[in-house]
Structure 1
Amino acid sequence: MKKYKKNIIPILIITFLIVISCMNFKDISDTYPVSTSPVVSLPIIMYHEVNTKNLGKYIVSPNELEEDIIYLINEGYTTITIEDLIAFEYNDIELPEKPIMITFDDGYYSSCKHILPILQKHNCKAVISIVGKYVDESTKSTYTNGYINWSQVKELVDSPYVEIQNHTYSMHELSKRKGCSIIKGESYDKYKTEIIEDVGFLQSQIEEKTGYIPKAFTYPFGIICKECDEILEEIGFFATLSCYSGVNLLSGNQKELYGLKRFNRPSGINRVNFFKQFEK
Structure 2
Amino acid sequence: MQYDSAPTVVNGRTMVPIRHTLEAFGATVQWNSNTKWTTITKGSDTVQIRTNDTTAYRNGVAFTLETAPFSKNNRSYVPLRFIAETFGYRVEWNSTSRSVFITEPLQPIAVPVLMYHHIAENGASGSIISPARFREHMQMIHAEGYTTITDNQLYENLKNGAPLPLKPILITFDDGYQSNFTYAYPTLKELGMKASIHLITSRVTDGTPSYTNEIPKMSWAEAQQSGDVFSFQGHTEDSHFKGVTANGTTRGVITGRIIKADGQLETQAEFEERLLRDLTVSKQTIEERLGQQVITLAYPFGDYSADTIRIAQKAGYKMAFTVKQGKVESTTADLFRLNRITGNGQLTADQLRQVINQY
TM-score, normalised via structure 2 length: 0.63
- Contact 2:116/2:127 (CA < 8 Å) preserved in 1? yes
Correspondence for 2:207: 139
Structure holding more strand per residue? 2
Correspondence for 2:320: 240
Residues 1:156 and 2:226 are matched in the alignment? yes
Equivalent residue for 2:240, pick from 156, 172, 176: 172
Q: Name the aligned partner's letter for residue 151 of structure 1.
A: A
Whole-Å separation in 1 of the counterparts to 2:148 and 2:181: 19
Whole-Å separation in 1 of the counterparts to 2:243 and 2:159: 37
Shift of 1:54: 4.3
1:169-248 pair list within 5 angstroms: 169-176=237-244, 178-183=252-257, 187-248=267-328
- Contact 2:134/2:345 (CA < 8 Å) preserved in 1? no
Shift of 1:91: 4.3
Whole-Å separation in 1 of the counterparts to 2:342 and 2:159: 28
Shift of 1:25: 7.3
Whole-Å separation in 2 of the counterparts to 1:273 and 1:87: 30
Correspondence for 1:120: 189
Q: Name the aligned partner's letter for residue 154 of structure 2.
A: L
Q: Name the aligned partner's letter for residue 273 of structure 2.
A: T
Q: Give the aligned length.
A: 247
Shift of 1:202: 1.4
Whole-Å separation in 2 of the counterparts to 1:123 and 1:218: 24
Equivalent residue for 2:199, pick from 108, 127, 130: 130
User: Gaps spanning 5+ residues in structure 1: where?
Assistant: 1-22, 27-32
- Alpha-carbon RMSD across the aligned residues, in angstroms, is 2.6
Correspondence for 2:342: 264
Q: Which has the higher contact order (CA 8 A, sep 6+)?
A: 1
Could you report, residue by residue, the CA deviation over 1:202-223 in whole angstroms, capped at 9, with x for unpaired residues? 1121122112231100000100
Whole-Å separation in 1 of the counterparts to 2:272 and 2:196: 26
Whole-Å separation in 2 of the counterparts to 1:187 and 1:141: 32
Percentage of identical aligned residues: 23
- Contact 1:179/1:221 (CA < 8 Å) preserved in 2? no
Correspondence for 1:20: none
- Contact 2:176/2:199 (CA < 8 Å) preserved in 1? yes
Shift of 1:94: 0.7
Whole-Å separation in 2 of the counterparts to 1:237 and 1:123: 28
Q: Name the aligned partner's letter for residue 241 of structure 1.
A: F
Whole-Å separation in 1 of the counterparts to 2:188 and 2:164: 20
Query: SS in structure 2 opposite 1:257?
Result: coil
Correspondence for 1:108: 177
- Contact 2:127/2:345 (CA < 8 Å) preserved in 1? yes
CA 1:233–1:141 in structure 2 vs 1: closer, same or farther (change >3 Å)? closer
Whole-Å separation in 2 of the counterparts to 1:272 and 1:54: 18
Whole-Å separation in 2 of the counterparts to 1:131 and 1:149: 11
Whole-Å separation in 1 of the counterparts to 2:158 and 2:221: 32
Whole-Å separation in 1 of the counterparts to 2:327 and 2:190: 27
Shift of 1:53: 4.0
TM-score, normalised via structure 1 length: 0.79
Q: Who wins on radius of gyration, i.e. which is larger?
A: 2
Task: After superposing the two structures, state which structure 1 stretch, 242-251 or 228-237, moved more.
Answer: 228-237
Query: SS in structure 2 opposite 1:102?
Result: strand
Query: SS in structure 1 opposite 2:240?
Result: coil
Shift of 1:48: 0.4
Task: After superposing the two structures, state which structure 1 stretch, 98-107 or 54-63, moved more.
Answer: 54-63
Correspondence for 1:45: 114
Q: Name the aligned partner's letter for residue 324 of structure 2.
A: Y
Whole-Å separation in 1 of the counterparts to 2:269 and 2:256: 11
Whole-Å separation in 2 of the counterparts to 1:211 and 1:51: 29
